């Protein structure tokens, strides 16, 4: 049989097993609509009752309900799914005996909020039960709601039971003699004691292994079992005598918790992270959804609980699929996991379908997850033991391989030793020859060392001399750069002097003309003298700006970008505007900092002059030079940009090299950007960089606040 056919047989058998288990799930069939008590019957478990479902939010009293017709019928074992409506059940009980009888009416599930019994009589008898009534305050002190009934000979009682639930509405109404009721309670307790005792023994065994091996898979298993057992004890009412309805509701959060731990356990068992990373990520996604369910249930238990049932629907089949895939890929341990988990999944599917009102109610169906979990826990415990055997076998196989490798390695090493011995003998002869050569080399080495010592004595002096030469070279380059700028500055000063000198000349001519016409009065003479004085002060101010600009600074002083830019524009601003170049200022950094102001002004002037030359050379339409300042990441930033088209990419890497210039034909020295970079990075401790934007070049000065 081929591998493919083999897997078809496995899957077919698996599906057949699931169908058989679901098909043999017991269901109840309605029998009679009225109960007649007989002497030889101690328990009435199969009868028909009438029911009525109130509208959502409606709360009818027994007075109205007793007068309304009940048109729907159901078995005493009922299931209606998740409903917020109140349900009324009606049936009659007749004592067909000449002797009085005592009976107990029991509801087999504990989780209904209210279970009220009304006995039609004069007056109407009302008995309360359900989660809203503590066990100690009940007429029959048991977790399951129960009511005592007394029948006189040949008496008929009309019974109405009102049920309101915060979870699914399912259960069974049963009528029993007190002896049979307590006998059934004892039998149920024995069953659950056996269940919980067996589970605790399994937990202690695996907890011991966890503390011995310190493997997290045992921690996941123990946590999973304990959380599920806590849920089961709460679900079946074993905690109800010691808790309240609030605690009962809160303990429903154990459902997303044990599903989460189940996923972690499954991931570790099936090695999904290593073998199936895609499935591992999906399971991690389920964990996130389960955590969301956990929070949702804390905030809104009813809707969160309903959503939890929907989440479990795709989760459990997906875990089964992953287990099938692991088995298909050859994981031996996946077979035990698949068997145990399948039993549990069938139990969870049954209880989930019961809660949704999809299958009829019975005690076995109600306990399906507990029955399935018992076999699952045992099989998972056997799985962990089998896992230890697999690991031990893998260890023995590894040791056998290592011993075989050791034997093979010993033979190989013996041959290598023989070869190496021969090689070493030959090497010994070579070393003896090399030793003689080394003695000769030692003599030559001593001679060379003496020469090196003599050179080292003069090395420091030569280094200092070279450093001083480089410093002198930088000073000369800086002076050369300043002289080149000074020539340009002289042209700017001459341009700025033309207008004041022309104004002085015009004022003098006006005075001379008025004097020759005898129209020079005292006020006019004073006004003209005042104008000449103002023009002269402007000329003097221009000289002061020129002198301060080139005055050498030996010490750092406090300044701002605003002051530096204003000083530079006093010199170059008029020249730029007269060439129809727009000056744009976006000054957003007004902080003071410590630096060499005149050297920084020289850099700003050089960048603006380069931008001006580029705009004039390329005859740019609507030319502009933009100056921006701002703070960024602890730095003071100044940017100078233009719209002259930018710097060619082939020369971008050379623009800061000394004597590199694109203006050689125009008597460019090639020192402007080189000296600007030297000033910013070596003197001011900052950074000068250049990039091309969409419209032109942008030069960026960044001064550190810490260094400033």
Instruction: Summarize pLDDT for 238-270 with one digit per residue, the tens.
Output: 888 887 777 877 888 888 898 899 899 888 888
Q: Are residues 359 and 226 in the same domain?
A: yes
Q: Are residues 155 and 254 in the same domain?
A: no
In a domain, 380, yes or no: no
Indicate whether 14 pLDDT > 60: no
In a domain, 570, yes or no: yes
Q: Answer with the one of 176, 208, 228 that is the final residue of a domain.
A: 176
How is residue 242 annotated by DSSP? G
- Kindly state the average pLDDT of the residues 389-401: 76
Q: How far is CA 45 from the centre of its chain?
A: 55
DSSP string, 147-164: EEEEE-TT-EEEEEEEEE
Q: Answer with the one of 143, 176, 209 that is the final residue of a domain.
A: 176
Which H or E run contains 174? strand 168-176
Weakest mean pLDDT among 253-262, 272-281, 672-681: 672-681
Q: What angle do CA 699, 705, 708 make, to 5 degrees?
A: 90
Asked if 199 and 224 touch (Cβ cutoff 8 Å), the reply is: no
Residue 184: burial class (beta carbons within 10 Å; 0-12, 13-18, 19+) = middle
Q: Are residues 133 and 200 in the same domain?
A: no
Q: Are residues 139 and 214 in the same domain?
A: no
Q: What is the pLDDT, as a whole number, of residue 336?
A: 86
Sign of CA dihedral 165, 171, 177, 182: negative
Residue 439: burial class (beta carbons within 10 Å; 0-12, 13-18, 19+) = exposed
Q: Give me the torsion for CA of 547, 548, 553, 557, rounded to 10°.
A: 170
Q: What angle do CA 600, 604, 609 make, to 5 degrees?
A: 145
CATH of the domain at 585: 3.30.565.10
In a domain, 316, yes or no: yes
Q: Which residues of 275-306 are buried (b: 16+ CB within 10 A; e: fewer)?
A: ebeebbeebeebbebbeebbebbeeebeebbb
Q: How far is CA 254 from CA 111, 226, 295, 412, in A?
A: 16, 10, 12, 61
Q: Which domain holds residue 140?
A: 34-176
Q: Mark residue 693 as left, alpha or beta (left: phi above 0; alpha: psi -120 to 50; beta: remaining).
A: beta
Q: Are residues 140 and 253 in the same domain?
A: no
Q: What is the pLDDT, as a whole number, of residue 303?
A: 80
pLDDT-derived band at 707 (thresholds 50, 70, 90) equals very low
Closest to 222 in 3D by CA, of 14, 381, 404: 381
Helices 254-270 and 277-299 sit at what angle, rounded to 10 degrees? Answer: 170
Rounded CA separation 111/242 (Å): 15
Omega before residue 123 within 30° of 0, cis: yes
Q: What angle do CA 25, 27, 32 make, to 5 degrees?
A: 165
Note the pLDDT tens digit of each residue in 29-63.
Answer: 333 468 998 888 889 988 999 999 988 878 888 88
> How many residues appear in the chain?
708
Q: What angle do CA 226, 227, 231 make, to 5 degrees?
A: 115
Q: For residue 559, report the phi and psi dihedrals to the nearest 5 degrees.
A: -155, 180
Q: What is the pLDDT, as a whole number, of residue 706?
A: 55
Task: Give the tokens for residue 103.
Answer: 């009976």
Number of structural domains in the chain? 3
Q: Are residues 104 and 205 in the same domain?
A: no
pLDDT-derived band at 23 (thresholds 50, 70, 90) equals very low
Give the SS3 label for residue 697: strand
- SS3 letters across 593-636: EEECHHHHHHHHHHHHHHHHHHHHHHCCCCCEEEEEEEEECCEE
Q: Are residues 104 and 63 in the same domain?
A: yes
Q: Answer with the one of 149, 176, 203 that is the final residue of a domain.
A: 176
Q: Are residues 219 and 362 in the same domain?
A: yes
Q: Are residues 135 and 240 in the same domain?
A: no
Q: Are residues 172 and 269 in the same domain?
A: no
Q: Mark residue 237 as left, alpha or beta (left: phi above 0; alpha: psi -120 to 50; beta: remaining).
A: left
Indicate whether 75 pLDDT > 80: yes
Give the SS3 label for residue 651: helix
| 456 or 64, which is more confident | 64
Q: Mark residue 122 as left, alpha or beta (left: phi above 0; alpha: psi -120 to 50; beta: remaining).
A: beta
Closest to 549 in 3D by CA, of 478, 595, 489, 507: 489
CATH of the domain at 51: 2.60.40.2380
Note the pLDDT tens digit of each residue in 342-361.
Answer: 888 888 888 888 888 888 99
Q: Are residues 282 and 196 in the same domain?
A: yes
Note the pLDDT tens digit of each residue in 178-222.
Answer: 999 999 999 988 888 898 888 888 888 888 888 888 888 889 888
For 683-688, which contacts have Cβ atoms below 8 Å and span 24 or more sequence positions?
A: 683/596, 683/599, 684/595, 684/596, 684/599, 684/600, 686/635, 688/603, 688/656
Q: What is the pLDDT, as a whole number, of residue 452?
A: 67
Q: Which residues contact 287 (CB under 8 A, 6 or more apart)?
A: 260, 263, 264
In a domain, 545, yes or no: no
């Amino acid at each position: 049989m081929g591998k493919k056919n083999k897997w078809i047989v496995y899957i077919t058998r698996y599906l057949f097993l699931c169908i058989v288990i679901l098909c043999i799930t017991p269901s109840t069939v309605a029998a009679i609509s009225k109960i007649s008590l007989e002497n030889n019957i101690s328990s009435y478990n199969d009868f028909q009752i009438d029911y009525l479902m109130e509208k959502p939010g409606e709360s009818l009293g027994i007075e109205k309900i007793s007068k309304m017709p009940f048109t729907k019928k159901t078995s005493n074992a009922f299931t209606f799914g998740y409903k917020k409506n109140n349900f009324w059940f009606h049936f009659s009980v007749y004592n067909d005996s000449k002797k009085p009888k005592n009976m107990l009416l029991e509801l087999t599930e504990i989780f209904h909020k209210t279970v009220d019994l009304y006995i039609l009589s004069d007056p109407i008898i009302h008995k309360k039960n359900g989660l809203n009534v503590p066990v100690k305050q009940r007429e029959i002190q048991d977790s399951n709601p129960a009511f005592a009934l007394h029948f006189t000979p040949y008496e008929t009682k009309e019974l109405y039971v009102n049920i309101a639930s915060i979870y699914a509405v399912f259960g069974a109404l049963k009528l029993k003699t007190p002896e049979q009721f307590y006998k059934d309670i004892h039998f149920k307790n024995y069953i659950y004691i056996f269940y919980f005792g067996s589970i605790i023994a399994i937990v202690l065994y695996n907890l011991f292994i966890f503390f011995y091996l310190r493997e997290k898979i045992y921690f996941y298993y123990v946590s999973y079992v304990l959380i599920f057992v806590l849920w089961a004890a709460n679900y079946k009412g074993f905690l109800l005598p010691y808790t309240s309805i609030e605690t009962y509701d809160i303990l429903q959060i154990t459902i997303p918790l044990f599903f989460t731990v189940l996923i972690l356990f499954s991931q570790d068992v099936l090695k999904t992270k290593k073998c199936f990373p895609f499935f591992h990520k999906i399971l991690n996604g389920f964990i996130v959804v389960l955590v969301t369910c956990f929070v949702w249930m804390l905030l809104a238990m009813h809707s969160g609980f309903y959503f939890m049932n929907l989440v479990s629907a795709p989760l459990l089949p997906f875990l089964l699929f992953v287990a099938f895939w692991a088995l298909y890929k050859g994981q031996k341990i996946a077979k035990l996991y698949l068997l145990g988990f399948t039993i549990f999944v069938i139990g969870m599917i049954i209880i989930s379908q019961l809660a949704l009102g999809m299958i009829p109610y019975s005690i076995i169906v109600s306990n399906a997850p507990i029955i399935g979990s018992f076999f699952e826990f045992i099989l998972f415990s056997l799985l962990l033991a089998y896992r230890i055997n697999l690991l031990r076998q893998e260890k023995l196989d590894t040791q056998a391989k290592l011993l075989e490798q050791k034997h093979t390695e010993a033979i190989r090493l013996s041959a290598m030793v023989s070869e190496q011995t021969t090689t070493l003998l030959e090497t010994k002869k070579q070393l003896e020859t090399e030793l003689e050569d080394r003695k000769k080399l030692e003599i030559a080495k001593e001679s060379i060392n003496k020469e090196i010592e003599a050179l080292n004595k003069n090395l420091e002096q030569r280094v200092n001399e070279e450093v001083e030469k480089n410093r002198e070279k930088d000073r000369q380059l800086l002076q050369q750069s300043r002289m080149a700028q000074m020539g340009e500055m002289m042209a700017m000063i001459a341009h700025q002097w033309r207008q004041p000198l022309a104004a002085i000349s015009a004022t003098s001519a006006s005075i001379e003309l008025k004097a020759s016409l005898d129209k020079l009065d005292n006020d006019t003479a004073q006004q003209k003298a005042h104008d000449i004085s103002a023009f002269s002060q402007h000329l003097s101010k221009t000289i002061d700006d020129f002198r301060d600009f080139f005055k050498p600074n030996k010490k750092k002083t406090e300044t701002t970008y605003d002051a530096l830019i204003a000083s530079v524009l006093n010199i170059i601003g008029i020249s730029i505007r007269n060439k129809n170049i727009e000056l744009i200022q976006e000054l957003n950094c007004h902080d003071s900092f410590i630096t060499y102001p005149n050297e920084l002004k020289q850099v700003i002037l050089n960048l603006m002059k380069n931008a001006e030359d580029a705009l004039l050379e390329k005859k740019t339409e609507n030319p502009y030079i933009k100056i921006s300042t701002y703070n960024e990441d602890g730095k003071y930033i100044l940017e100078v940009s233009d719209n002259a088209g930018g710097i060619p990419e082939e020369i971008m890497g050379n623009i800061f090299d000394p004597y590199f210039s694109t203006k050689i034909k125009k008597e460019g020295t090639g020192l402007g950007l080189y000296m600007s970079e030297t000033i910013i990075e070596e003197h001011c401790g900052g950074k000068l960089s250049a990039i091309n934007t969409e419209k032109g070049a942008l030069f960026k000065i960044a001064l550190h606040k810490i260094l400033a």
